[in-house]
Structure 1
């Protein structure tokens, strides 16, 4: 069994290439990577790494083994895979992680209720999404799309996320940036927007970001990803959340629903998270973290 382990420093990357030919291979120099040696070895790895609260690790193997492993949906916690690169990513979810996902989904539904659109979207916890070639795939922590795709939409695949969410508790920015690239790449997730929550459980800090693809009209193969918003939530010594950054946090209506706002419907608007919304969500996330530590 071969193991490669490295450490990295967090990098605050605000703009990225998305159409690079690599995916999980970018993570190999920076995280634990093991060579696959059978199902027994994998089960031992899952037990040992996750008992140590390892955020994620990579498994390298051949095409047939990877195809066999990714079919075992209920057996393994697979976050991402790339058959061409011969890599599978296994990710551990914490209680804090689940609480954050729950809070964001609740906020989106809450904002759609006054518009009468709470039934007009479908939310998917951890659906496996494959790219055009079906050789690599990923599970978002949560994703949303319209219940019915508008006929005028260029969004070809039905049930593909229009907005994806990734939550990181102990993962590094390198991993989070890889997630963002996957969801916004036209050849992979093809989402319109990717939301990320980076939670620092040591000092109760949360960084929430939105990312969107910025096409290059001169060269479509050189599209970029822009960080369109970033918000920080810090905790005071008294446990009171302090929100700073690009307030309010906004999810464009058309990015989610694949159609413009209906000018005849006064209630329709962008999905907006106020400062109070984010403060309340942060409290719930920190409570979950406290419960997990006990």
Structure 2
């Protein structure tokens, strides 16, 4: 079922961003907001009725158009659908709304804060829904992000941990997201979590990506599956290093790496599947 390659290292970064996305993602030339919204409405209807349809669309537009949409976001209904852009590549990425994806994001925030609260640290975290970061010609929106209440100098605008969720039969397109968030000149995050919800069957895959030896490394993979009313979870707990999340070393015995338990992961999956299949 999974199409993500089994390697633990992402390829070395290239100069491209959205151009690296799989050719299966439909491409359109932007011809005005009305035309774009009509396409989104049509493709959203197709996405809802077919597990083979994708929830991502790429639009080709000139730099001035992309900059105007991002600068005057209140004037453009389209802005709420844009999850990434690159003015140098003249591309912006649209992602259609999905309730299972929203539920997964909210549940991950809930269980991560529960883990932080177990050592009285939840009030030291700032959770951010749909956080947007811009780096040079590029911009990206995370499904969820977290940062410490008190960040080191120069890091207050950046998340320490981000979450990207895919509701799809594959998760190839998440590679460019992982790279954006972990690169020092873009997102500057310490950890990027990816969560892929398979549409056709009850399967969820969570991956943890970090920088190790100056390369982007996949350090943990958790698979959650369900067969005959029995849920199976591999490689739990999900571990978030304290220093990666709070951007400082632990200073007392109670401060330690966060562990998201088997029970919490099962609760996340069951909540997603309840909406997805019932």
What runs of 5+ residues in structure 1 fail to find an aligned partner?
A: 1-8, 216-222
Query: Does 72-81 or 201-210 show the bigger shift?
Result: 72-81
How many angstroms apart in 2 are the aligned matches of 1:248 and 1:157?
Answer: 28
Residues 21-60 of structure 1 deviation map (CA, whole Å, 9 limit, x = unaligned): 1100112633111111112211211211122224110000
Q: How do 1:84-163 and structure 2 match up within 5 A? A: 84-131=88-135, 133=136, 135-150=137-152, 156-163=154-161
Match of 2:273 in 1: 286
How many angstroms apart in 2 are the aligned matches of 1:15 and 1:26?
Answer: 17
How many angstroms apart in 1 are the aligned matches of 2:90 and 2:14?
Answer: 17
Match of 1:220 in 2: none
Q: Secondary structure at the match of 1:165?
A: strand
8 Å contact kept, 1:166–1:195:
yes
One of 18, 29, 49 as aligned partner of 1:24: 18
Q: Secondary structure at the match of 1:115?
A: coil
Q: Secondary structure at the match of 2:73?
A: coil
Deviation at residue 157 of structure 1 after TM alignment:
3.0
Q: How has the CA–CA distance of structure 1 residues 37 and 226 changed in structure 2, closer, same or farther, with 3 Å as cutoff? A: same
How many angstroms apart in 1 are the aligned matches of 2:61 and 2:256?
Answer: 47
Match of 1:212 in 2: 210
One of 218, 224, 227 as aligned partner of 1:233: 224
How many angstroms apart in 1 are the aligned matches of 2:218 and 2:22?
Answer: 25
How many angstroms apart in 2 are the aligned matches of 1:254 and 1:18?
Answer: 25
Deviation at residue 186 of structure 1 after TM alignment:
0.9
8 Å contact kept, 2:223–2:233:
yes
Match of 1:249 in 2: 238
How many angstroms apart in 1 are the aligned matches of 2:131 and 2:238?
Answer: 25
How many angstroms apart in 2 are the aligned matches of 1:41 and 1:88?
Answer: 15
Deviation at residue 73 of structure 1 after TM alignment:
3.2
How many angstroms apart in 1 are the aligned matches of 2:45 and 2:73?
Answer: 21
Matching of residue 275 in structure 1 with residue 262 in structure 2: yes
Q: How do 1:187-202 and structure 2 match up within 5 A? A: 187-202=185-200
Q: Secondary structure at the match of 1:256?
A: helix
Matching of residue 260 in structure 1 with residue 249 in structure 2: yes
8 Å contact kept, 1:34–1:60:
yes
Residues 188-214 of structure 1 deviation map (CA, whole Å, 9 limit, x = unaligned): 111000001111131101111100012
Match of 2:27 in 1: 33
CA-based RMSD: 1.7
How many angstroms apart in 2 are the aligned matches of 1:27 and 1:40?
Answer: 25
Give the TM-score taking structure 2 as reference length. Answer: 0.90
How many angstroms apart in 2 are the aligned matches of 1:28 and 1:229?
Answer: 24
One of 5, 11, 28 as aligned partner of 2:4: 11
Deviation at residue 159 of structure 1 after TM alignment:
2.4
How many angstroms apart in 2 are the aligned matches of 1:55 and 1:118?
Answer: 33
Q: How do 1:164-175 and structure 2 match up within 5 A? A: 164-170=162-168, 172-175=170-173
